[in-house]
Structure 1
Amino acid sequence: MGLKITLPDDDGARQEYALRGEPLAVVKRPPAKSRIALSAAHVVSRPDSAVHPSEGGAIDWEATMAFRRHLLEQGLGVAEAMDTAQRGMGLSYDGARELIERTCAEFGPKPPAPIFAGCGTDHLAAGSAQNVDDVIDAYLLQAEQLQRAGARLILMASAELARVAQGPEDYAKAYAAALAACEQPVILHWLGDMFDPRLAGYWGAAGLDAAAASCLEIIAAHAAKVDGIKISLLDKQREIDFRRRLPDGVRLYTGDDFNYPELIAGDGERHSDALLGIFDPIAPAAAAALAALDDGDEQEFRRLLDPTVALSRLMFEKPTWHYKAGVVFLAWLNGHQRGYAMLGGVEGMRSLRHLAGLFRLADGCGLLADPELAVRRMKLLLETRGFGA
């Protein structure tokens, strides 16, 4: 008899659910050749930390590094200390810097798959920048510190720049200075306000068409310093239109957690590479799908990846910035950490119905690595939240 568990349905009623998924194998692979694929990886919080959750909590470094090995061994690169790692949302810059330094030291200058790391301005207290020069100084400080550790950079979108900039010319000034300080070509970062409301109006324009034009001007002026740009706007057609306008040699890294299979597959002329938070919880499916794409088997690529879209769409539903609770929830179900805990104590920001939906969809995609462990832990969570037998 198969495993069964009683879960809340969409209306909160009790419903017996029979697990049906066949767990996908976790296979050691080289990085894909046809696409660059980076997973924005989460950090593991120590549930036994003496640091109060209001102060961020503490990181379980052993489990956090083990999870990065889990990704890299499957051929997936790592985008370190990004918003999936609660950067600026529980993870301070001091914590991010230590995380990046540990990752660089652990995997060295030639990691098994590409590693990039977020460089931003988040050591500035909110509202403290007086002008664009303050933001530039902040970017330069982090760039110097992180490159000294051996990191290759992602220039993260800056909430302080969005607050003080008066228009596109201020963005052009800030990015010219920041890019000049970068030793290797970097990935730029356009994170929509559905992920962080402080980034509304980024690139100095109220509308997305004007913002795209402003961003493209900056890229064109500094193309030799730009490896690519990650776009997270959850707008498939806008991403396709944007990538058509990029200079030759500049990559589009999709951050579209709603439409990634189609965008990565491409349209026959151009495709998107990937820098995705969803690749953290769906790593075995993503890695196998990319291997199929390397073999020229787009049908198998879509067979493996398309079923994960429903899981991703639920995980990233509004309020989108709480998707991290779902990422960590699945990591806990799959045994990558001891407890369902997050920096800042924000693991409670998704409802039990939401988490039950993620459980069902992850099972259907073969993403519960050890179904018995997942059921046991899900039952513990249900009981803790008052839905026990």
Structure 2
Amino acid sequence: MSHLTLLAADGSTRTTELRETVATARPSAPLRSRVAYAAAHVVPKTASETVPGHPADIDWDATLAFRHEVWSWGLGVADAMDTAQRNMGLDAAATRELIGRSATEAASVNGSLVVGVNTDHIGDEVISLPAVIDAYREQLAFVEQTGAGAVLMASRHLARVADGPDDYRRVYNAVLGSATTPVVLHWLGTAFDPHLAGYFGSNDQAEAAGTMLAIIADNVDVVAGVKMSLLDADAEIAVRRRLPDSARMFTGDDFNYVSLIEGDEHGYSDALLGAFAALAPLASTAIQALDAGDTAAYRRVLGPTEELSRHIFAAPTFYYKTGIAFMSWLNGHQSAFRMVGGLHAARSLPHLSRTVELANAAGALTDPELAAARWHALLSVNGVDASRATIAPRASTLSEVVA
């Protein structure tokens, strides 16, 4: 049995047993019990200028192949959102091209696709409320032309200029009034973007939720749901119970998704998660278990992934994208651990070591030998001699870990 060499923060190394992956199977029919989207990332060309401030130079073959991989597991793709490094290396021109290319690929396989609509093509200037409306409408019109579904993302421009809940209702009602297809709203917490403090007009979550629910009530025929990314399960459940029947709750809580997707006697959350970009086979297998009425199998498969996700999304949370790309590289979906904007350097080697360790424990390494070889090569390049690692006691079996 092969081993993984792990690196601690003090520079010491140890090894742990390399486990087999969890048994998974691609679905033979559409998933039924939950709607689930994986928020996909982009892959830059290996030889491109993947440095801060440089325009994105995307490897379109690898980027689009990853989306086909997600669709093959019965999941939808959420694109041009945070996970794709929007506003963190993915510039406005590349974002627009990504949306168009992904929409074409989705249509070719009848894959489900939603994409982000924002105001970020304007740049980092202060604009008026009417200008915010116009910017939203411009992106929304483009997305609707591609045939993709729209996720109305939280706007930094709006957060900067809005003076209370009424301004949010004014802007959202105007934008949603021009929508010709169903739209999902997105409430992104400050852990992901500190610029969005006080979104929906208040720093009090209950008051902000009231404003968002009022917007949904004003536009019940066009709002298909809301994605909540506050990393607060209680807040999500409270809103979920107040949604009209026409609107779905899409959890964006990468800390607590297992219980939120399972639900309770009052309902459940569907999923729109960055974590699922790293866990597509396990996410699909778990939802297939729910389709079969086997809640125990659902928990057994998906439960162990939550500790991995919590680590990937650890503070500073907005660097979680590094962990998503790292998992993609470990699992063979890209040839190099590179990210647009140089963001592959945003997490330390010990942090990445813990990612490998938790992915191994959760059975999330789809080809464990490949993942180990790539990880050990990265250690070697950084001067870590894996041969000097301390042999740890034999770990428990995978069945014991996930039980």
Task: Specify the TM-score bucket, using the shorter chain as the normaliser.
Answer: over 0.9
Q: Secondary structure at the match of 2:236?
A: helix
Aligned to 1:117: 115
Letter in 2 for 1:48: A
After TM superposition, give the deviation of residue 126 of structure 1 in Å. 0.8
Q: Distance in 2 between matches of 1:257 and 1:150?
A: 28
Identity of aligned residues (%): 47
Aligned to 2:267: 270
Aligned to 2:58: 59
Letter in 2 for 1:356: S
Q: Is the 8 A contact 2:56 2:94 kept in 1?
A: no
After TM superposition, give the deviation of residue 62 of structure 1 in Å. 0.2
Gaps of 5+ in 2: 387-403
Q: Secondary structure at the match of 2:290?
A: helix
Q: Is the 8 A contact 2:44 2:50 kept in 1?
A: no
Letter in 2 for 1:120: N
Mapping of 1:177-256 within 5 angstroms?
Answer: 177-256=174-253
Q: Distance in 2 between matches of 1:222 and 1:3?
A: 56
Structure 2 length-normalised TM: 0.93
Aligned to 2:286: 289
After TM superposition, give the deviation of residue 89 of structure 1 in Å. 1.2
Q: Specify which of 354, 362, 378 is matched with residue 365 of structure 1.
A: 362
Q: Is the 8 A contact 2:106 2:112 kept in 1?
A: no
Q: Specify which of 156, 161, 165 is matched with residue 153 of structure 2.
A: 156
Q: Distance in 1 between matches of 2:28 and 2:324?
A: 23
The CA deviation string for residues 99-128 of structure 1, in whole angstroms up to 9 with x for no partner, is 1100111221x7544211111111011124
Q: Secondary structure at the match of 1:118?
A: strand
User: Relative contact order (C-alpha < 8 Å, sep 6+): which is higher?
Assistant: 2
Q: Does 1:313 align with 2:306?
A: no
Q: Does 1:30 align with 2:5?
A: no
Mapping of 1:162-173 within 5 angstroms?
Answer: 162-173=159-170
Q: Is the 8 A contact 1:31 1:77 kept in 2?
A: no
Q: Specify which of 101, 104, 126 is matched with residue 124 of structure 2.
A: 126
The CA deviation string for residues 158-198 of structure 1, in whole angstroms up to 9 with x for no partner, is 01100010111111011011111211111100000100111
After TM superposition, give the deviation of residue 329 of structure 1 in Å. 0.3
Q: Is the 8 A contact 1:10 1:353 kept in 2?
A: yes
Aligned to 2:324: 327
The CA deviation string for residues 231-258 of structure 1, in whole angstroms up to 9 with x for no partner, is 0011111111111111122111000101
Letter in 2 for 1:86: Q
Structure 1 length-normalised TM: 0.96
Letter in 2 for 1:276: L
Q: Distance in 1 between matches of 2:312 and 2:4?
A: 21
Q: Does 1:144 align with 2:141?
A: yes
Aligned to 1:339: 336
CA RMSD, 1 decimal: 1.5
Q: Is the 8 A contact 1:254 1:276 kept in 2?
A: yes
Aligned to 2:394: none
Aligned length: 386
The CA deviation string for residues 299-321 of structure 1, in whole angstroms up to 9 with x for no partner, is 11111110001000100100000
Q: Secondary structure at the match of 2:121?
A: coil
Q: Distance in 2 between matches of 1:25 and 1:203?
A: 41
Residue 309 to residue 244, structure 1, CA distance change in 2 (3 Å):
same
Letter in 2 for 1:103: S
Aligned to 1:379: 376
Q: Secondary structure at the match of 1:194?
A: coil
Q: Distance in 2 between matches of 1:269 and 1:51?
A: 47
Q: Secondary structure at the match of 2:120?
A: coil
Q: Is the 8 A contact 1:30 1:112 kept in 2?
A: no
Q: Is the 8 A contact 1:152 1:184 kept in 2?
A: yes
Letter in 1 for 2:163: Q
Aligned to 1:17: 16
After TM superposition, give the deviation of residue 7 of structure 1 in Å. 1.6
